[in-house]
Amino acid sequence: MPAVRLLLICAATGLLSGLLPHAATADTLLGNWVLNQELSRELQPANTNQKKSMFGGLQGSPSIVVGGIPIPIPGSSSSKEVSTGSVRDPQVLRCAEMTIELVGEDILFTYVGVGTEQLKQGNYRGTKTTYKSKKLTSRYETTSRTVSKTFELTKEGRLHATVRLKPNKGKTLVYHRVFDRAS
């Protein structure tokens, strides 16, 4: 009889220990998230300003396309702004699954199949990050654009990620991604 009682106690403890971490993080951003493509598509506005101009580059940057590569027109004002490397979009826009965890005082994003990103609270190397249990905001500037990312927990328990890309001398592009908590 004591062996059965011990077995029941062990089983109950194991069951509770598996449930407690999920229940403790249900009202925070921390945890595993999976992209909800339907809701993301519904929230995404029709960005008509993302279309390319007839010159091949983004609107307002006259260039000629040779072999699929835009070449700036000599003497144009935008020819000084063209860099040799392409600017990559934030990793949250390229992932289908991600994990958000607290590592010490830092927030670690693991974008499955894409990469990782570690954010520090406050202003660190030009990135300003603020974090509360239900909202995280990160903002940084480069020589070509300003990037602002907001991760917010909705009333339904979903994670709503908003990314604003503001190119210098261009229109702001806004992207929305909605994630469901992985079970």
22-48 exposure pattern, b = at least 16 Cβ within 10 A, e = fewer: eeebeeebbbbbbbbeebbeeeeeeee
Kindly report the pTM of this predicted structure: 0.65
Whole-number Å distance between alpha carbons of 68 and 155: 45
Strands 106-111 and 115-119: what pairing? antiparallel
| Rama region for 76: left / alpha / beta (φ>0; ψ in -120 to 50; rest) | beta
State the pLDDT confidence band at 26, using cuts at 50, 70 and 90. Answer: low
State the pLDDT confidence band at 182, using cuts at 50, 70 and 90. Answer: confident
Q: Which fold would CATH assign to domain 29-49+88-181? A: Lipocalin (2.40.128)
Q: Which helix (H) or strand (E) holds 12?
A: helix 2-24
Residues 81-124: tens digit of each pLDDT: 444 456 778 888 889 899 999 888 889 999 998 999 998 989 99
Task: Tell me what the pLDDT averaged over the chain comes to.
Answer: 74
